[in-house]
Structure 1
Amino acid sequence: MEVPYERISYTDKYWRIYEPWLPISPTYSRTDKFFFNYNYPGYLQSYPEMEGYVTLLSNSYDNSMSVIEYLQEKHWLTWKTTAVFMDFTHFNADANIFTICTLLVEQTPFGTILSNARIISAKLHFVAQLGKGGLIVLIIYIIVVIQFFKALVMVVWYEPIKLRSMWTKLDLIIFVLNITVIILVSVQEFMVSQLLAKVESSSKLEFLDFRMPTRLNEWTRNMLGFLVCLTTMRLWRVLQFASVFQLFASTAMIILTFLMGFGIAAVTINGNIADSFRA
């Protein structure tokens, strides 16, 4: 490899260095760019996940320190470095929990060092380990989704004018969200299965990136939140046929206004301890 001032050979190095003087963007596939094209919020600024430089540490403390010393010696880490990220994953096989850790160290223009840690724990491989009760619930859920879609198609097919109704559009959105959740969970399970297979058969130093299924897990949770919200709205429409709920509907706007005000006040007060809120 050739740098502006010196030619360095990697043949005498026993650890692997992934092009530390080149941006990491060319090393990512289109799928990686789709999942990681976000900014990581820090104390000073937000850092794009697709920018910067990357290298791989070793599987022991001494060898990892040798890599770091080598990078410092060759001016990969200097006083001009603004931020350093460290990504690694813990897996608890007994609890079936993946913990994805991202450590951030920032250097301010005044020389102050700031640190930040983002730790996400999630069960990324839960469908394959469902018990009998979980499988029964999953089958019932799939049957309900199919029946819901069948009823929706019958309504739209025989009465197309109902497509103009807000509640019919809401039903369509609910169905689309259900399908989206099923697809996200299926893709997540497939990715985790492939990564676990690599863990079992891997015989060399390699970074297995579990951030992608974790990102899918976050998207799934967000979709489930919207799905629960919209399903509750649809259920509210059904319950309005009862006189008790019709009486309650007249005061719903007042209650909604109060809840929104309380939520804004709580976020304003408690959000001061959140890094992303301050940023």
Structure 2
Amino acid sequence: MKNTVLKMEHVTKRFGGLTAVSDFNLDLKEGELLGLIGPNGAGKTTIFNLITHVFPVSEGKIEFLGKDITKSTTDRIIRMGVARTFQNIRLFVNMTVKENIMTAFHAHLKSDLFTAIGFLPKYQKEEEYIQEKTYELMKEVGIEHLADYKSSSLPYGLQRKLEIARALATNPKLLLLDEPAAGMNPDETLELNQLILRIREKYKLTIIVIEHDMKVIMNICERIIVLDHGVTIAEGTPEQIQNNPEVIKAYLGAGDEDA
């Protein structure tokens, strides 16, 4: 039986009088690829923000690898092995592709300041390791030929890939992807599907995907949770979700932006 990676029990988030997420429950197993969908204002990104403690939980409990992280800081949660990408891409625009990824590695350096300043052997070894792993990740997502380009000069689809590579540099166990296919054309979306499946297998990841492109969700996710106005209205396999009348009703006339 697979271990539980993420457990959310009766999680609720209120902003004043507005309930953005209501009594959300999740038991996410190791290696699972879960889709989180819902129309405009459903609360999907809010759930990511609660997992990473961008927002504090109003009620409920969150556990990661059996440890209570409900009140943990964002930095600690990242160090424990949670990584995410964002709805609005957040790259260091004045840094190169390579530098963006190396920065994520440097956040996990074991060398102290004295070792780094003195460029002592321990630090040199870590730097060599980071250079090697950075190239490996660039190659993994297909951007190694753009290593020295400014990240801001990349087309939108390649920026998305860079953001995924940077997330992988933190050595995560849980990867949260917030609309990774946004702005991509059909060919890029197909490549993205293949990339997500490949990195899950290679890096032994558990993944949650928020996505409005139903082709992505239906093609790669084994299980899907559907939110509407912060409430879970359906959960099941892609086939079950496609045929669920509550889901069809929720999406009728829905927009494309999450709140």
What TM-score does the superposition give when structure 2 sets the normalisation length?
A: 0.23
- State which structure, 1 or 2, has the greater radius of gyration over its C-alpha atoms: 1
The answer to which structure has the higher helix fraction is 1
Task: Indicate the structure whose relative CO is greater, using CA pairs within 8 Å and at least 6 residues apart.
Answer: 2
What TM-score does the superposition give when structure 1 sets the normalisation length?
A: 0.21
